Structure 1
Amino acid sequence: MATSLLITSVLITLATLAQAQVKTTYLLTQESCKKIAAASLKYAADNAAPGGSVAIVDAGGHLLYLERMDGTFAQAAEVSFQKARSAALFKKETKGFEDNINGGRFALTTVGPVMLQGGFPIIYKGEVIGAIGVSGAKSADQDTEIAKAGASAKLD
């Protein structure tokens, strides 16, 4: 009897611990991607961006949404996607990578992802749930500003 009670107590304790280890994961929806893109494109229009491509990826760097403004050069679509992918996979803004490369840390150019500014993580409830990348505005700084505007869009 005492052995059965001990085994039951251990099993209940293990079951409780297993439940405590479950983590809630948040995902970007098409609706949230459209809100993020709309915030980016509004910022671009309000700040006289001559064009731009906005790409949004999930936390694994997979493309969820892409929009290219009229008149934007075609390659901006691929570059914006790669910037977003880099920001998602590294969970940080891509500007720091470009700054490091410009400062002489050339080894960063060999790792594969695009290390150009204009990629910004999308953070929801303290977790990186995706990223946005922008390419094709009037400058790299404006790419970053447009991406930040999108990443700051309210998702609740």
Structure 2
Amino acid sequence: MRKRVSLLNNIDKLVEKALITIQSEALFSKENLQKTIDVAESKAREIEVPVTICISDLSGNPRMFYRMEDAKLVSLTLAPKKALSALLMQAETKDLNKETQPNGELYQIETMMDGKLVTFAGGIPIFYQEKIIGAIGVSGGKVSEDQEICETAVRTFLKGESSCQL
């Protein structure tokens, strides 16, 4: 009897995980990605800073990538790196800066990761039902501006959640 209950609990957990995966994938619909980019771009225009925005999935693959006209060319490299950094570290990139300074617990991690990590603001992981599903990176302005636009993008992305319920 215990084996049967244990097996049913395992099946329930697998079904729950599968449902979360299916629901979170719905957040990556073209419509939700485009709306997220549009709202983030609107925020960037409001504060008068052209940026590049990258929305990546759990594998770190960019699912949508957009560079506003006049965004700094370096932002083409930094936006996806910010998204990947937030994803890999499961933390906002703004929170990594202090730890990567001399005497910090993560000092020199950027070097050890062959330059793949960015440890300044503008990258935020996306959590759905307490599971990480992707990340957004924004680059082109001051780090505080990138962070503000990125926060707007994450909020907008997660508003698509209501259309993801099965």
TM more than 0.5 = yes
Give 3-state SS (helix, strand or coil) of 2:97's partner.
helix
The corresponding residue for 1:120 is 124
Any unmatched runs of 5+ in structure 1? 1-8
In the TM superposition, 1:5-84 aligns within 5 A as 9=1, 12-22=4-14, 23=17, 24-25=20-21, 26-27=24-25, 28-49=28-49, 51-84=50-83
Do 1:59 and 1:89's aligned partners in 2 also have CA atoms closer than 8 Å? no
How many pairs does the alignment contain? 146
Structure-2 separation of matches of 1:46 and 1:102: 33
Q: TM-score, normalised by structure 1?
A: 0.82
User: For 1:91-132, what per-residue CA distance to the aligned partner results, in whole angstroms no more than 9, with x for missing partners?
Assistant: 210001123334653323324222222101123333322111
Identical columns (%): 25
Do 1:61 and 1:86's aligned partners in 2 also have CA atoms closer than 8 Å? no
Do 1:108 and 1:115's aligned partners in 2 also have CA atoms closer than 8 Å? no
The corresponding residue for 2:95 is 96
More helix by share: 2
**Kindly tell me: are residues 104 and 39 of structure 1, through their superposed partners in 2, closer, same or farther at Cα, counting changes over 3 Å?**
farther
Give 3-state SS (helix, strand or coil) of 2:96's partner.
helix
Give the structure with higher Rg (CA).
Answer: 1
User: For 1:53-88, what per-residue CA distance to the aligned partner results, in whole angstroms no more than 9, with x for missing partners?
Assistant: 000101221111100000112221121001001111
